[in-house]
Chains A and B, each alone.
Chain A
Amino acid sequence: MKNIRRIWNGILLAAILFSCEDKISPTLERAAPVLVVDAWLNNKPGFQTIILTQTQTYFDNTNPPAVSGAVVTVIDDQGTIFPFPENDRTPGDYVWKPLSNEVFGTIGNRYTLTIKVNGETFESRSYMGRVPVIDSITFDKQKRISSKDSITRAEFWATDPVGHGDAYWIRSYKNGVLLNKPREINVAYDAGFSAGGETDGVTFITPIRRGINSNDQNSRGNNVSPFHVGDSVNVQIHSITHAAFNYLNEVKIQTDRPGGFQELFSTPLANVSTNISNTKTNGTTALGFFNVAAVSSAGKRFKK
C-alpha cells in the first residue's frame, strides 16, 4: 500500500485556506562528489546507453558533470561480452551498438556490469525477467459534475503471468514524450503494489492500469485532462528485479513531494539504495542502479 499517500491528495480542506508555502534557499552541508551510474538497459531495438556522472551540490541547477575515461562492460551468464565504449560526442555516455537486428539481452539471463574508472572497479548484477503482453489500451472520458470540461484518462490492460515475484516498471509516453515526473513512477509487484499483496496472475490492479496518465496542473492548480482528442499514448512494461522494485519505490517516496497538507504524512528524507558496489570493501561509494529489462509495449491514439 505504498500509494496510500494518494488518498491524502484531496484532503486539503482545513489547510487549504490557511497554509502557505515559500521557496527558500537554505545553506547545506558541503559534500564531495560521488560517482553516479545510470544503467537501465532493455531489449528494445537500438542503442543501449549507460551514463556516468557525479553528484552535484543540491542547488546546482546545471546538468551533472560527466565522468569520462571509464571502461564499461556487461557480461551475461552465457559468457557473452557487451562492450560499452564511451561516445565521442557526448562524454559520460557509454553506448552499446547492436549489429544489424540484434537486441540487447535475453529473458532469463543474468548480467554483470563492470565499470573501471579512476583506478577503481565497480560491479553490479541484474537479471532479465519476463514481461506480459499488453492486451489493449482504453480511454475513459468522464464529465465533471460541476464544470463543463471533461477528463480523459487512459488505461492499459494486461495480466501478470502466473508465478510469484515478477516485478515491473510501467513507463508511458504521451505524444512521444516520456512521462517521468516522480509522481508518475508506476511500479508493480505481480499485478499489485507489494510483495505481500497476493496479486499474482491477475489483471493489473486499477491504480496501476491507470498510472499511465500524465499528472499536470494548470496555473490555477487544477488537474488538467491527461488526454485530448488527437493525443497518443505509448505504454511499455519493463521487467525489473526485486531490488529495482524496492529502489524505485524508495525513489518515489523521496522525490514525490507534492507538499501542502501531505507533508504531515511524509517520511524523513533518506538516501535511496543502490546496487552498484565497489569491488574493494573500503573503496569509494557509487550511486545509481543497474537493471536489464525485457519490454512489451502498445500504443493508441485518442480519437473521440
Chain B
Amino acid sequence: MKQLICIAFFFLLFYSGFSQQKFTINGTIKDASNGEALIGVTVFISEIKSGATTNEYGFYAITLSTATYSISYSYVGFQLVSKKIDLNKDTQLNIELLPETEQLQEVVVQAEIEQANVQNLEMSTNKLEIKTILRLPTLFGESDVLRSLQLLPGVSTVGEGASGFNVRGGSVGQNLILLDEAPVYNSSHLFGFFSVFNPDAVKDTKLYKGAIPSRYGGRLASILDVRMKEGNSKKFEVTGGIGSVFSRLAVEGPLIKDKASFIIAVRRSYIDVLARPFVQLLKDGGALNFYDLTMKTNYNINRKNRVYLSGYFGRDNFKFDKTQGFNWGNSTATARWNHLFNERLFSNLTLVYSKYDYALQFGKDDRNRFSWNSSITNFILRPQFTYFINSKNELNFGGDATYYTFAPANAVGVTNGKSVDISLDKKYNLETALHIGNSQKLTNAFSIEYGLRFSNFQSMGPGTSYSYNDTIPGIRKSVIGAKTYASGEAIVSYRNLEPRLSFKVQGNETSSVKGSYNRMVQYLHLISNTTASNPLDVWNPSSNNIKPQIADQFTLGYFKDIGEARKYEFSVEGYLRYTQNQLDYIDGADLLINRYLEGDLLSGRGRAYGLETYFQKKTGRLTGWVSYTLGRTELKVDGINRGEWYETRYNQTHNLKIAAFYDINSRWSVSGNFIYTSGTPTTFPTSRYIQQGILIPYNVNESRNNVHLKSYHRLDISFRLEGKKVKNGKERRNTDYWVFSLYNVYGRRNPFSIYFSQNDIRVPAGQPLQSQATQLSIIGSVIPSISYNFKF
C-alpha cells in the first residue's frame, strides 16, 4: 500500500514534465499602508486562466513559458493591481496593494478576478480577517478572536464562559491552536470569557476544519492558525483602547524603514480594580486579573532572506487572599527564517518554544501549606519547503520535531510541620513527522492535492510505565505491574501514516465541487471530564495505556459565486468523521495529581457528521453572512450509557448564525449577530434515594446525556462611531472610534446547565429531604458596554 502511494505520487508529480524554456515570477505582496505582508492574495494570469495565492509570508511564485502575460493581484478590501510583463528571464515582482478607501458608498467593485472559495482548491477552511473581528458585536466591549470564530459554520461551544471551541463535533482538546506556529495549550483568559489573542497584534486567523494539508498534524478536529502582525514598516503607530474589562495599547513601527519593523502590544484587565469596593474577597487581599504581552519583529536581510521573531506572554492571577491563590498562563516564542534557495524554492525554518503552566498555593503558615505547579513545555524545529514547480504544481514538503516535557505535578504538602512530596514523575516525549504534499492542476477543471504525513511519537525515560488489570468497564482499574526505564530509553512508540487527499472539479467560472479525505492522528490528550475545560486540565501524552487518537474525515462540498462581480458566495459542505481511541472517564475519576490516572480512563469510538451551509455577501453597504450547520456528534464507550452510543455534551443539532454589518453614513455603522442553537444534551436523573441522610440522584436506565437543554438564542448589536476626521478645519492626524454594544439584547436567560441537588437547608431528623432542579444561565441579562479605541 505504502509503495503504491509513493509510485502514484511521483507519477503525478512528474506527469506534467519540464519541456519548454521556463521562467519564474515571484515576489512578496504587501499592504501599502503599513508594509504588512498579505496572506492569500490572488495572483491571476489571464492568459492561462490560472495563478497562485500568496503564502503565510506573503510570498508567491509562478513558473511559466516565455511569453507576454498580464498579471493581476487582488485581495478583498484592497485595490486591484494589474501588470503586463514580457517574461524572458526570472523576474521578481514585489507588489504593494492600496487599501480601498473607507468611504464604502462609492466603492464600485471593478471586474475583480476574485479567486474566492469557488476557484480555490481549499475547502473546509474559514478565514476571519481582523477587520471583521473588530466589527463584530462584543461581550463587555472587547473584541475577541475565539468568540468571533464561533460565528463560523461548524464551530460551536458548550456555553458562555466555556473556554475553547468545538469544531465539527470534536472536543476542545482536539483543536490545535497556533500563535505564529507556537502551540497554545490554554487559549483563554478569565476561564473562557476572553481569549489570549490580542486583536491589536493579530493579522489573520484561519481555521482548517477538514482537507487539512499534510504540513499540519497533531490534532483531530481542527487547526487554528493565528498569525501575528509584523508591525508597520512605514511609520510609527500607536493603537489602543479602553474598555470595561481591560485596556489595550500597541506600538508598532519601522526599525529600519521598509526593512525591519516591530510591534509590541499589551493588555491588562482591571475588573478587579473596579469591583474592589463591592466584592468582599478583593477587599480581603484577593485578586483577579490577567495581562498579556505580544510582540514581534522582523528584518528583511536581503531579497533572499528574512527573519522574524515573535513572542507571547500572558498570565491570569487569582488570589483568595494575600498568600493563597493560583495563576496560569502561556508563554511562546517563535523564530523564523524565510530563505529563497532559488526563484522557485521557498523555505522557512521555524524554531518554537512554548510553555503552559499553572501554580497554586494554599495555607497561611509554613507548618501547614500546599503548593502545586504543573507545566507542559515544548521545543519545536520545523523546516518547511515549497517548490513552485510550474503553474500546475506546487510541492510542499518538510518535517517537524517536537520535544515535550510534561510536569503533571510538582506538589508539596506540609501538614503539621511535616513535609510530604506528592509530585508525579515528569514525562518526556518526542513527536516527529515528515510530510509531503503536492497541489496539482490536472486540467482547467480538475485539480487535486495529495499528501502524506508520517508521524512518529515516542515516550522516553526516565520514567515508569504501569500496567493495569482488566475490570468491568466503568470500574477503576488497579495497578498490577510497574516497569522503570532509564534516561533516554524508549518506553513506548507509535507510528502512523496520515494520507491527505482533496480534489476540486470546476463546473464553470462560478461553481465548483470539492471533496476530501484525511486522516489525523493526535498523540496528546486533554484530560478533562468537566462541562467546560478549565485551567487545571492536564495534557497527557500517549502511553502504553493511552493510545493515540485517530480520525478519518470525509468531506464533500459545493461552492457557488452569485451575482455581479461575485457579490455573494454560497457553499454547502457535508462531513463525516470517525474517531478511534477517544477518552472518557469512569464515574468519580480522579484526574489531578493521580499517579494511577490511567486506571480511571475509558476508551471508545466517536462519530460526527453534519452539513454546513454558508452564505456571504461580501460587498456593498450591507455585508455579512448566514451560517447554518446541521450536525451530530456521538461517542460509544464501554462503561458509559450501557455501552451504547451517546451524544457528547457539545452536540448541537441545529446551529444558526447570522452576522451583518451596515454602514449608515461615513461616521456611523452598525453590526449585529444572531445565534440560534439547539440545546446541548445533559443528564437527568429518574429517581432519588437516601443514604446516611444525603439525597442521591439515580438514573435507573444508566443513561448519559438523555435530555436536552432548552435552545439557545441571542442577539447582539453594536454601533460604531468614527471620530471626526477633520477638526477646526484641519485634518486630524489621529483616528479614533467609539463602540457601543449590547450583548444579549433581549436579555434571554439561556440555560448553561440544569443541576439536581438537595435543598441546602438543614432538615431535622425524620423530616423528608427536598430535592430540586436548578437551571443556570451564565448570562441572564442584557450587557451593555462602551469602548473607546484610538490610533495615532
A residues with CB within 8 A of B: 1-2, 4, 7-8, 10-11, 13-16, 18-26, 28-34, 36, 38, 40, 53-64, 144-147, 157, 159, 177-178, 180-182, 185, 191-192, 194-199, 202-207, 216-217, 222, 246, 249-251, 253-255, 257, 259-261, 263-273, 287-289
Which B594-640 residues have a C-beta within 8 angstroms of A?
A: 594-596
State the CA gap A207–B743 with chains docked (Å): 40
Please state if A269 and B685 are interface contacts (CB–CB under 8 Å): yes
State the CA gap A38–B769 with chains docked (Å): 16
Interchain residue pairs with CB less than 8 A apart (11): A4-B536, A11-B318, A38-B691, A53-B689, A192-B420, A197-B422, A205-B370, A249-B590, A263-B753, A269-B685, A270-B704
Please state if A257 and B705 are interface contacts (CB–CB under 8 Å): no
Q: Mark B669-693, 1 if CB is under 8 A from A, else 0.
A: 0000000000000111111111111
| Interface-lining segment among B190-198, B428-436, B552-560 | B190-198
Please state if B415 and A206 are interface contacts (CB–CB under 8 Å): yes
Question: Given contacts A205-B370, A269-B685, A271-B699, are A13 and B272 in contact (CB under 8 A)?
Answer: yes
Q: Mark B550-594, 1 if CB is under 8 A from A, else 0.
A: 000000000000000000000000000000000001011110111
| Interface-lining segment among B278-286, B291-299, B726-734 | B278-286
Residue of A1, A53, A64, A180 most packed against chain B (CB within 10 A)? A1
The yes or no answer to B341 lying at the interface (CB within 8 A) is: no
The one of A10, A24, A264 that contacts B775, using a Cβ cutoff of 8 Å = A24
Please state if B691 and A259 are interface contacts (CB–CB under 8 Å): no
Question: Given contacts A4-B536, A26-B684, A205-B370, are A268 and B649 in contact (CB under 8 A)?
Answer: yes
Closest Cβ neighbor of A179 among chain B residues: B762
Nearest 4 A-B pairs (CB), nearest first?
A20-B780, A203-B416, A31-B686, A1-B592
B residues with CB within 8 A of A: 161-162, 190-193, 271-272, 275, 279-281, 283-286, 288, 318, 320, 326, 360, 362-363, 368-370, 413, 415-416, 418, 420-422, 475-476, 529-532, 534, 536, 585, 587-590, 592-596, 649, 682-707, 749, 752-758, 760, 762, 766, 768-781, 783
Closest Cβ neighbor of B772 among chain A residues: A23
Please state if A263 and B271 are interface contacts (CB–CB under 8 Å): no
The one of A4, A178, A288 that contacts B693, using a Cβ cutoff of 8 Å = A178
Contacts of B701 in A (CB 8 A): 29, 31
Contacts of A198 in B (CB 8 A): 420-422
Please state if B752 and A181 are interface contacts (CB–CB under 8 Å): no
Please state if A7 and B688 are interface contacts (CB–CB under 8 Å): no
Please state if B768 and A61 are interface contacts (CB–CB under 8 Å): yes
Question: Given contacts A199-B420, A270-B683, are A263 and B776 in contact (CB under 8 A)?
Answer: yes
Please state if A222 and B773 are interface contacts (CB–CB under 8 Å): no
Please state if A21 and B757 are interface contacts (CB–CB under 8 Å): no
Closest Cβ neighbor of A264 among chain B residues: B532
B422 → A minimal CB distance (Å): 5
Residue of A55, A56, A177, A268 most packed against chain B (CB within 10 A)? A268
Please state if B534 and A265 are interface contacts (CB–CB under 8 Å): yes
State the CA gap A222–B281 with chains docked (Å): 11
Please state if B415 and A202 are interface contacts (CB–CB under 8 Å): yes
Please state if B692 and A40 are interface contacts (CB–CB under 8 Å): yes
Contacts of A159 in B (CB 8 A): 416
Contacts of B532 in A (CB 8 A): 264-265
Please state if B588 and A246 are interface contacts (CB–CB under 8 Å): yes
B169 → A minimal CB distance (Å): 17
Contacts of B162 in A (CB 8 A): 264
Question: Given contacts A205-B415, A264-B191, are A29 and B706 in contact (CB under 8 A)?
Answer: yes
The one of B283, B687, B757 that contacts A31, using a Cβ cutoff of 8 Å = B687
Please state if A264 and B534 are interface contacts (CB–CB under 8 Å): yes
Please state if B757 and A182 are interface contacts (CB–CB under 8 Å): yes
A26-B773, A31-B701, A250-B588 given; 9 more Cβ-contact pairs under 8 Å: A7-B360, A20-B777, A23-B773, A36-B691, A55-B688, A58-B686, A205-B370, A264-B534, A267-B529
State the CA gap A231–B596 with chains docked (Å): 42
Please state if B700 and A34 are interface contacts (CB–CB under 8 Å): yes
Contacts of B592 in A (CB 8 A): 1, 4
Question: Given contacts A58-B685, A205-B370, A271-B702, are A38 and B690 in contact (CB under 8 A)?
Answer: yes
Contacts of A177 in B (CB 8 A): 762
State the CA gap A180–B596 with chains docked (Å): 30
Question: Given contacts A36-B690, A197-B422, are A270 and B415 in contact (CB under 8 A)?
Answer: no
Please state if B318 and A58 are interface contacts (CB–CB under 8 Å): no
Please state if A64 and B683 are interface contacts (CB–CB under 8 Å): no
Question: Given contacts A29-B706, A268-B683, are A18 and B588 in contact (CB under 8 A)?
Answer: no
Contacts of A11 in B (CB 8 A): 191, 288, 318
State the CA gap A167–B190 with chains docked (Å): 37
